[in-house]
Structures are given as structure tokens and as C-alpha cells.
Amino acid sequence: MNDNVKPWPNVAGRMEIEQPKRIMRPCDYGLLGAINSLETQLGTIEAYNRLAEAAQQLRDKIEAGNAKPQNPMFAKSIRGD
């Protein structure tokens, strides 16, 4: 770590303005529906176990260098910011 890195002394942003909400995309609603279905059919604990297995599979895919980039159609801006 670089020793000359210091925290910014001033508070960033404007506290009187509400933070922007997270953008909900169709896949987010699909995930919420899948979680609800898992919990309904399998119960909370087994639903968690299945989600943890799926998350581990994604992590393994990322660590193997097989991660997929975001589809530009769903990026926040046309530049992909």
C-alpha cells in the first residue's frame, strides 16, 4: 500500500440531497422472484444454501477468468460509465 495516500479531509457530496436510488433492472426483479420461489418451495435455509452454491459457482467462473462483461444495452450511459 502506498504510504502517501491520505483520506480526503472534506465530506464529499451534499448531505441535504438524498442519495440516488439503486437502479432496478429486469434481472433484479427476476432474482427477487427466484429467491421468493426458492424460499416458498424449499424453506429459508435450503434457499440460502442454493443461493450460496450459485454464488460460489459465479466466483469460481470469475476467478478462472471467464467473467462476462455487462451488456452495453444495460449500461448507465452509452459510454459504459
> For residues 33-63, b (16+ Cβ closer than 10 Å) or e, as one string?
eeeeebbeeeeeeebeeeeeeeeeeeeeeee
Q: pLDDT tens digits for 29-58? A: 999 999 999 999 999 999 999 999 999 999
Q: What is the pLDDT of residue 51?
A: 96
The stretches of the chain forming alpha helices (DSSP H) are 26-42, 44-63
Q: pLDDT tens digits for 14-28? A: 777 787 777 888 899
pLDDT tier for residue 77 given thresholds of 50, 70 and 90: low
Distance CA 28, CA 49 (A): 19
pLDDT tier for residue 74 given thresholds of 50, 70 and 90: confident
76 or 37, which is more confident?
Answer: 37
